[in-house]
Amino acid sequence: MTVLLDPGTGGAEANYPTRPITLVLGAAPGSGADILARALLPDIAAEVGQRLAIDYQPGASGNIGAARVARARPDGHTVLLSTRSASLHKVMYPYMDYDFARDLKPIAMVATMPIVVVMGNHVAANDMLDAMELARFNPGRYVCASVGVGTTNHVLCEILQASAGMRMQHIPYQSSAAALNDVVAGLVDFLFTPLSAALPHIKSRRVCAVAVTSQLRIDEIPDVPTIEEIGFSEAGADDWYALMAPTGTAPRIVARLNRALNAVLANRDVRQRLARLGYMAPG
């Protein structure tokens, strides 16, 4: 989405940014948010005329990073690349000492990301339905990993289990990269993960993609069915990434970042770059 704001006039923020901008990620290196940030940061830096530095703050499904930005000085020099998971903290992490809706201000939507279900090559199944039958008749034997309790991919895994009448063990990881390594090693059977993190492993056939949670099939893996095609639309949802600032950030600064980001996302080469990585730019 594009946030339309009155840029205002005058004020100390007129020369913004005056120093490098810190982009906080509530995720670890190798995550979907990290891959997206690295794909866009050089272009955003060129637009705003300052370097952007990534600050990794993984934990609590992105809420540690979100809380850090919520408490930051609202001068536009500390911003958050948020995911859907952080917006669920009132349900999953009620003890967190911030309020996502109250303490953070949206700058712009950055991208959406399909979630893919990958299966280890060690699992004796040909497709998702075969795998679900195995899990149904062997309750608790198989492991479904995610990148943290309360993340979108964890919630979707739980919804799928409830809908299909099966029970798997859940193991949370701090990053998609670590979870994928254990799927490849045969220590984890299934993983719901952002497509961007899994795509290299899928293309090299180190893991098997058995479903995507998006409404439509994905061009990068066209033979992989949607979860709705398999008969479990309840477990369908994309993840999203949005740029956020601390509440209290001047409208002029928010508008400046909004224009810069949307100028980058309007570039055809950037959009194609994101598509190759598995992201969908807005608009």
Nearest CA to 41 out of 61, 57, 20 is that of: 20
Residue 67 pLDDT: 93
pLDDT at site 266: 96
> Which residues of the chain are in CATH 3.40.190.150 domains?
12-113+238-277
**pLDDT value, residue 87:** 65
Three-state DSSP state, 73: coil
Give the pLDDT of residue 28.
Answer: 86
Q: Contact, 44 vs 73, CB < 8 A?
A: no
- Please report the pLDDT score of residue 258 as a whole number: 97
pLDDT of residue 18: 95
Question: Quick one: fold of 12-113+238-277?
Answer: D-Maltodextrin-Binding Protein; domain 2 (3.40.190)
pLDDT at residue number 111: 94
User: In the numeric block, which tokens belong to residue 188?
Assistant: 């984890």
Q: What confidence score (pLDDT) does residue 10 get? A: 42
The C-alpha atoms of residue 73 and residue 78 are separated, in whole angstroms, by 7
What pLDDT does residue 97 have?
Answer: 83
What predicted TM-score, i.e. pTM, was given to this entire model?
Answer: 0.78
Residues of the chain with CATH 3.40.190.10: 115-235
Q: What pLDDT sits at residue 91? A: 64
Q: Which CATH class is domain 115-235?
A: alpha beta
* Residue ranges, the chain, pLDDT below 70: 1-14, 86-92
- Alpha carbon distance 188, 198 (integer Å): 14
pLDDT given at position 115: 87
